[in-house]
């Protein structure tokens, strides 16, 4: 199997072979064959009478020592994955909320409120009195309200209940899946999946959906608070792929998820003293910050920081030999980076007390002195630059232009140029006329199990040709950006005639001198909620619920537990949701049946598992055809 279809990644894989530095793909080969029980979800280690496993062929044991069946084991495994994803997004959101509170109390001077309009809008939506109150007071109330969302309350989570359609809230109440606390739901999930608690697969799956809705709330909160502290993204042109790493500059990669650190580093990079220091060290180009993974998306869309690469290929940034420092916060950071950094001069710097890596340097992040720490980290990069070995430098000359930063607000304001009084009307009219056949949100990761980006690119070509508007977040947006699908030229090359007309009309009206790209970059993984906001606005405008819109979601190359949580809330939101990798649930017919069929009866959304990207694109087109018919539109 090819490891990637990205030329820059392939170049670095070849280099790693020559230099005998094993990468993620080599370690994957050494794991093969991976355990068949695990692949099917048929193993359990939840107590010390285990590990237990169930024979999927019906010959060996059909129950664990405690009597847990295949259905119980698979459902419990999925439930714990969603709980882990929810804990991750929730942890990120809580970190933002604490910082907003510190900002409001004057304890974090480097984090002023940068988007007051968004602060007021989110506060009002959350039931906080704004009126003529000061920014600080509103910010403090909002931060406290956000922190309140983590422990159990007797009312639904505000960040879930006030951000979806009324129809969704009624559906969630009807099925008893309304979360009342983000951390409390995670804790409840750990309780109900421990030895001898919930053994009913359907009950476990409903609990899983409740947990996934808490994940949605956490993601939405993280996005809202990031916009308040750093500004709501507007489209900005930048570039993507390893070629953004520069030979003539001190290169600092920000990697991980939370913008609290990466945004500070992006700001500090223009500090004159530091730029001069970099020049004195022999870097005429000064300081060049590049992004990796979701925190890369955060600074890409707010500060035009170019994106170096995405999750599965994160190691290749160091392989260029020109990365002076890689600074990481949490999530999706491979521990292998430390060993690879040791083969070069690159300084790997961890910053979070909960996410340390042996052999990396550690500068513990403190929000009260974030600006100073960002400058310290850049200074470390400048010192490392002096140790660069020119013989080891090999930067693939591959980049693509990328227009990033389509927040829901940015999309609405682009549409408002076409129709100021009723911004959604042009989009709704285009959907009705079939010029926009449907909308597909691409989310999730890159995996070693598929040639990197292959599924994304095959699917987007098919869907764009059929006039489907594509939205992207996380490493999905990285894939499209690196392959040039976030540039206006891609619209001319790949979009069907209807879609081309619409994107050109909006792009020209918005002053872009050309069409909008066929793939709109909506941000990081927590920003999947931005796409949900657009869908909710359309549904509310049409007076129908989300499960009737020709909107679908796809994670063609998913990896993480966070991706499982997001996919699960997309299903609960009523979206047909494609997975390009078979998740570890096939050991239970009951569980697969609920996920792919019963969920549809309850929520309107359901999973479609299809490893073949073209078949997957066709399956999504079919769901759109069906929903268009349901709305009385041409299919
Ligand atoms: O939150 S897409 S590999 S980087 S999990 Fe991770 Fe997956 Fe990338 Fe961002 Ni999202
Ligand atoms: Fe085995 Fe049951 Fe213990 Fe799991 S909880 S390890 S199935 S005995």
Ligand 1 center from residue 227 Cα (angstroms): 19
User: What b/e sequence results for 170-190 when a residue is b if at least 16 CB atoms lie within 10 Å of its CB, and e otherwise?
Assistant: ebbeeeebbbbbbbbbbebbe
Q: How many Cβ atoms are within 10 Å of 569's Cβ, its own excluded? A: 29
Atom from ligand 1 closest to the CA of residue 332: 6
Closest among 308, 297, 304 to 246, alpha carbons compared:
308
Taking all residues of the chain, what is their mean pLDDT, rounded to a whole number? 98
DSSP 244: G
> For 175-215, how does the pLDDT look when each residue is reduced to its tens digit (9 = 90+)?
999 999 999 999 999 999 999 999 999 999 999 999 999 99
CA pseudo-torsion sign 407, 411, 413, 414: positive
Residue nearest to atom 3 of ligand 2 (CA): 47
- 195: CA distance to ligand 2 center in Å? 7
CATH 3.40.50.2030 intervals, the chain: 242-392, 401-630
DSSP 303-344: H-PPEEE-STTHHHHHHTS---EEEE-SSS--TTHHHHHHTS
How far apart CA 116 and CA 77 sit, in angstroms, is 42
Residue 510 has pLDDT above 90, yes or no: no
Q: Which residues contact 318 (CB under 8 A, 6 or more apart)?
A: 326, 337, 340, 341, 343, 344, 346
Give pLDDT, residue 580.
Answer: 98
d(CA 384, CA 308): 19
- Residue 194 phi, psi (nearest 5): -85, 175
Contact 216, 569 (CB under 8 A): yes
382-395 tens-digit pLDDT: 999 999 999 999 99
- Ligand 1 centre to CA of 474 (Å) is 5
* Domain made up of 70-230: CATH architecture: Up-down Bundle (1.20)
> Model pTM?
0.98
123 CA to centre of ligand 1 in angstroms:
28
What are the residue ranges of CATH 1.20.1270.30 in the chain?
70-230
- CA–CA distances in Å: residue 631 to residues 303, 417, 624, 628: 40, 27, 11, 5
What pLDDT, on the 0 to 100 scale, is given for residue 1? 81
Q: Give every CB contact of residue 458 below 8 A, 6+ residues apart in sequence.
A: 613, 614, 617
Rounded to the nearest angstrom, the distance between the alpha carbon of 222 and the centre of ligand 2 is: 36
* Res 258: pLDDT: 97
Q: Give the pLDDT confidence score for residue 249 in this predicted structure.
A: 98
User: In the prediction, which pLDDT does 162 show?
Assistant: 98
pLDDT of residue 166: 98
Closest residue CA from atom 2 of ligand 2 = 66
CA of 36 to the centre of ligand 2 (A): 18
The class that CATH gives domain 401-630 is alpha beta
Residue 277 and residue 250 in contact, taking contact as beta carbons nearer than 8 Å: no
Question: What pLDDT does residue 635 have?
Answer: 87
When pLDDT is averaged across residues 540-544 and rounded to a whole number, the result is 96
DSSP state of 72: H
Report residue 542's pLDDT band, with 50, 70 and 90 as the boundaries.
very high
Among all ligands shown, which has an atom nearest to the Cα of 255?
1
CATH architecture of the region 242-392: 3-Layer(aba) Sandwich (3.40)
Residue 374 in contact with ligand 1 by CB distance below 6 A: no
Which atom of ligand 2 is least distant from the CA of 195?
A: 5
Q: Looking at the CA of 66, which ligand is closest?
A: 2
d(C-alpha 517, C-alpha 407), whole Å: 14
What residues line ligand 2, using a CB cutoff of 6 Å?
44-47, 49-52, 64-66, 68, 195
pLDDT tens digits, 434-491 = 999 999 999 999 999 999 999 999 999 999 999 999 999 999 999 999 999 999 999 9
**Best residue among 82, 481, 560 to mutate for probing ligand 1, ranked by most atoms within 8 Å of CB:** 560
pLDDT digit string (tens) for 28-58? 999 999 999 999 999 999 999 999 999 999 9
The confidence score (pLDDT) of residue 471 equals 98
Question: 345-354 burial, b for 16+ CB within 10 Å, e for fewer?
Answer: bbbbbbbbee
d(CA 282, CA 277) in angstroms, rounded, equals 9
Mean pLDDT of the 219-224 span: 98
pLDDT digits (tens, 9 = 90+) for 322-331: 999 999 999 9
Ligand 1: does its nearest atom lie under 6 Å from the Cβ of 212?
no
Going from the Cα of 422 to the center of ligand 1, the distance in angstroms, rounded, reads 35
Report H helices in 193-313.
201-230, 259-268, 272-280, 293-303
Q: What is the pLDDT of residue 511?
A: 86
441, containing H or E segment: strand 438-442
What is the distance between the alpha carbons of residues 259 and 262, in angstroms, rounded to a whole number? 5
Q: Rounded mean pLDDT of 98-114?
A: 98
Cα(42) to centroid(ligand 2), Å:
11
Q: What is the pLDDT of residues 119-158, one digit of tens each?
A: 999 999 999 999 999 999 999 999 999 999 999 999 999 9
Q: What span, in angstroms and rounded, lies between the C-alpha atoms of 605 and 384?
A: 50
Handedness of CA 216, 470, 616, 256 (dihedral sign): negative
Quick one: which atom of ligand 2 is closest to the CA of 65? 8
The answer to whether 529 and 219 have CB atoms below 8 angstroms apart is: yes
Q: 389 in helix, strand or coil?
A: coil
For ligand 1, atom 6, name the residue with the nearest CA.
332
Nearest to 531 by CA among 406, 392, 362: 406
């Amino acid at each position: 199997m090819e490891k990637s279809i990205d030329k820059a990644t392939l170049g670095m894989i070849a280099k790693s072979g020559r230099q005998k530095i094993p990468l993620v793909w080599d370690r994957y080969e050494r794991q093969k064959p991976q355990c068949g029980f695990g692949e099917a979800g048929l193993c359990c280690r939840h107590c010390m009478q285990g590990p237990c496993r169930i024979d999927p062929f019906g010959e060996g044991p059909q129950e664990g020592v405690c009597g847990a069946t295949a259905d119980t084991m698979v459902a419990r495994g999925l439930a714990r994955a969603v709980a882990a994803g929810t804990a991750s997004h929730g942890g990120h959101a809580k970190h933002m909320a604490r910082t907003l509170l510190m900002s409001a109390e004057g304890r974090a001077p480097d984090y002023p409120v940068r988007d007051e309009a968004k602060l007021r809008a989110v506060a009002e939506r959350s039931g906080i009195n704004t009126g003529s109150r000061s920014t600080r007071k509103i910010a403090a109330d909002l931060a406290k309200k956000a922190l309140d969302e983590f422990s159990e309350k007797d009312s639904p989570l505000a960040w879930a209940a006030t951000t979806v359609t009324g129809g969704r809230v009624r559906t969630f109440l009807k099925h008893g899946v309304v979360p009342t606390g983000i951390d409390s739901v995670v804790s409840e999930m750990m309780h109900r999946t421990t030895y001898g608690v919930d053994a009913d697969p359907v009950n476990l799956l409903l609990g899983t959906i409740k947990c996934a809705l808490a994940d949605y709330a956490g993601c939405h909160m993280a996005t809202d608070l990031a916009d308040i502290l750093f500004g709501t993204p507007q489209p900005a042109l930048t570039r993507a792929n390893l070629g953004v790493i520069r030979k003539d500059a001190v290169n600092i990669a920000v990697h991980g998820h939370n913008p609290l650190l990466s945004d500070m580093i992006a700001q500090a990079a223009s500090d004159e003293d530091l730029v001069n220091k970099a020049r004195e060290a022999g870097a005429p180009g000064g300081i060049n910050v590049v992004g990796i993974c979701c925190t890369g998306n955060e600074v890409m869309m707010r500060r035009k920081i170019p994106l170096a690469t995405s999750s599965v290929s994160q190691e290749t940034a160091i392989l260029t030999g020109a990365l002076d420092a890689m600074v990481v916060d949490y999530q999706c950071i491979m521990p292998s980076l430390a060993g690879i950094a040791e083969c070069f001069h690159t300084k790997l710097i961890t910053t979070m007390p909960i996410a340390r890596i042996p052999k990396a340097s550690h500068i513990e992040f403190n929000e009260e002195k974030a600006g100073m720490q960002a400058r310290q980290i850049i200074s470390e990069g400048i010192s490392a630059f002096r140790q660069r070995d020119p013989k080891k430098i090999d930067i693939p000359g591959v980049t693509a232009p990328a227009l990033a930063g389509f927040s829901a607000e940015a999309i609405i304001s682009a549409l408002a140029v076409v129709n100021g009084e009723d911004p959604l009307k042009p989009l709704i009219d285009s959907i009705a006329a079939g010029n926009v056949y449907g909308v597909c949100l691409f989310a999730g990761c890159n995996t070693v199990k598929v040639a990197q980006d292959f599924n994304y690119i095959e699917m987007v070509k098919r869907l764009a040709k059929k006039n489907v508007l594509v939205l992207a977040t996380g490493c999905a947006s990285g894939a499209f950006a690196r392959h040039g699908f976030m540039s206006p030229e891609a619209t001319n090359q790949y979009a069907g005639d209807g879609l081309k007309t619409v994107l050109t009309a909006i792009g020209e009206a918005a002053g872009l001198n050309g069409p909008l790209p066929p793939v709109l970059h909506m941000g990081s993984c927590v920003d999947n909620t931005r796409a949900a906001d657009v869908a909710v606005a359309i549904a509310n405008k049409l007076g129908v619920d989300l499960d009737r819109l020709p909107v679908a979601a796809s994670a063609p190359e998913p990896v993480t537990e966070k991706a499982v949580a997001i996919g699960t809330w997309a299903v609960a939101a009523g979206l047909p949701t494609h997975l390009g990798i078979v998740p570890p649930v096939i050991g239970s017919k009951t569980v697969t049946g609920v996920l792919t069929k019963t969920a549809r009866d309850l929520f309107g959304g359901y999973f479609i598992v299809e490893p073949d990207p073209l078949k997957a694109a066709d399956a999504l087109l079919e769901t759109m055809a069906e929903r268009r018919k349901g709305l009385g539109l041409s299919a």
